[in-house]
Amino acid sequence: MRRAPIPVARFRAPDGGQHTVAVLSVKEGWQIVDQNGRGREVVETLTDPRDEREQAEAVARDYAQWAKLPTWARA
């Protein structure tokens, strides 16, 4: 059974593209994915058994905050 990603955050990238950051339960744990209209890019996979959905959502929100910054401002 294939599971659907759970949307967590949305942002507009510096190039103007709309993105949705979502979490997806996978066999290995949780994946954080960036869905940008051209496909799905895996940002990170949390594999520690102690990581639950709340941790994955926090990582997704942090990624969305970082990804909307101009490239020069990312550290």
Show contacts of 23-29: CB within 8 Å, 24+ apart: 23/53, 23/56, 23/57, 23/60, 25/53
pLDDT over threshold 90, residue 16: no
More reliable by pLDDT, 11 or 37: 11
For the chain, the domains span: 6-69
Q: pLDDT value at position 32? A: 98
47-70 pLDDT, tens digit each: 999 999 999 999 999 999 999 988
pTM above 0.75, yes or no: yes
22 alpha carbon, distance to own chain's centre: 5
